[in-house]
């Protein structure tokens, strides 16, 4: 993220101001910060997740939303790469209400924020039951799950399955990383082509 707005503003002022902006901004601690684009792998991972969850949630009460929809988290405004709510929404709304699952695809430029302030905001938002940080440059997911007033952390790697108890869904890492530099088929083909030492 870059291009921080200079003046501190209230959450209400930010929400009014943001509606007039052509770009997307996040808001935390009175400061608006413009969102920047990500890599092709980042976009592919987010798309793979959204398509998989959309299929798994079809016909049920929960809906998955991509990173162009905001959530309110601990008096901050966030645009997670993916969020899921089981609360009814209206198509004209611009905010996902009561998200139960939030997913961020982390890159070197976003890692500090995703593992720092965003994690803090998500943990303090009572509706959120799981927070997943998907590595863009390694086949790894850090999955945080709420258990009462505590959070547990599980690391999922390799070809394992991401179990999203908050919405009753499972997604294999092979599907999450499909068509990226970390696609299992590409990795196997690369191993076959590598010269013997």
Q: In the predicted model, is pLDDT for residue 1 greater than 80?
A: no
User: Which helix (DSSP H) or strand (DSSP E) does residue 104 occupy?
Assistant: strand 99-106
State mean pLDDT over 93-122: 92
Residue 30: CA count within 13 A, CB half-sphere? 4
**pLDDT, the chain, mean:** 91
Facing residues of 78 across strands?
A: 71
H-helix or E-strand containing 56? Answer: helix 40-57
- In the structure encoding, which two tokens stand for residue 144, read together? 């945080």
Quick one: fold of 39-187?
Answer: tt1808, chain A (3.90.1570)
Sheet with 2-4: strands ordered across: 2-4, 31-34, 25-28, 76-78, 71-73
Of the candidates 180, 135, 185, the one whose C-alpha atom is nearest the C-alpha of residue 156 is 135
Greater confidence (91 vs 43) lies with 43
Q: What pLDDT does residue 10 have?
A: 95
Percent of the chain with pLDDT over 90: 76
Please indicate whether residue 17 or residue 192 has the higher confidence score (pLDDT). Answer: 17
Domain regions of the chain by residue span: 1-36, 39-187
Predicted TM-score (pTM) of this structure: 0.89
């Amino acid at each position: 993220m870059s291009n921080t707005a200079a003046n501190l503003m209230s959450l209400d002022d930010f929400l009014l101001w943001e509606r007039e902006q052509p770009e997307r901004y996040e808001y935390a601690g009175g400061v608006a910060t413009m969102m920047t684009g990500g890599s092709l792998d980042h976009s592919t991972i987010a798309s793979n997740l959204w398509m998989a969850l959309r299929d798994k949630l079809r016909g049920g009460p929960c809906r998955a939303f991509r990173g162009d929809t905001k959530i309110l988290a601990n008096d901050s405004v966030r645009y997670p790469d993916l969020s899921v709510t089981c609360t009814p929404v209206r198509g004209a709304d611009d905010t996902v209400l009561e998200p139960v699952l939030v997913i961020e695809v982390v890159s070197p430029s976003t890692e500090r924020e995703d593992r720092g302030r965003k994690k803090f905001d998500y943990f303090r938002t009572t509706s959120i039951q799981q927070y997943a940080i998907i590595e863009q440059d390694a086949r790894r997911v850090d999955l945080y799950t709420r258990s009462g007033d505590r959070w547990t952390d599980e690391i999922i790697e390799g070809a394992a399955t991401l179990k999203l108890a908050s919405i009753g869904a499972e997604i294999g890492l092979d599907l999450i990383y499909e068509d990226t530099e970390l696609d299992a088929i590409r990795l196997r083909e690369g191993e076959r082509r590598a010269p013997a030492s």
